[in-house]
């Protein structure tokens, strides 16, 4: 395993739902019910951060 990269990924559970809210180290947010889908999205950075219109995605910060 390689050393730490200093990148921080965060996944929060939205209480009362089956929805996870993920925040990438770049500030992009994504929601998914499937934890595997969430981690695949995060680890694919920056690919996959441009999703079809209407998908639960937004950039924060910047």
Q: Give the model confidence (pLDDT) of 2-61 as tens digits.
A: 556 677 788 999 999 999 998 887 778 888 999 999 888 888 877 766 544 555 555 444
**Stated pTM of the model:** 0.64
Residue 40, CB-side half-sphere exposure with 13 Å CA sphere: 7
Q: Domain locations in the chain?
A: 10-59
Least Cα distance to 14 among 23, 3, 6, 5 occurs for 23
**Rounded-to-integer distance, Cα 33 and Cα 50, Å:** 19
């Amino acid at each position: 395993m390689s050393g730490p990269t200093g990148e921080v990924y965060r996944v929060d559970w939205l209480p009362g739902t089956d929805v996870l809210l993920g925040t990438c180290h770049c500030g992009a947010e994504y929601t998914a019910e499937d934890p595997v889908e969430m981690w695949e999205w995060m680890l694919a950075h920056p690919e996959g951060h441009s999703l079809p219109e209407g998908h639960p995605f937004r950039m924060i910060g910047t």
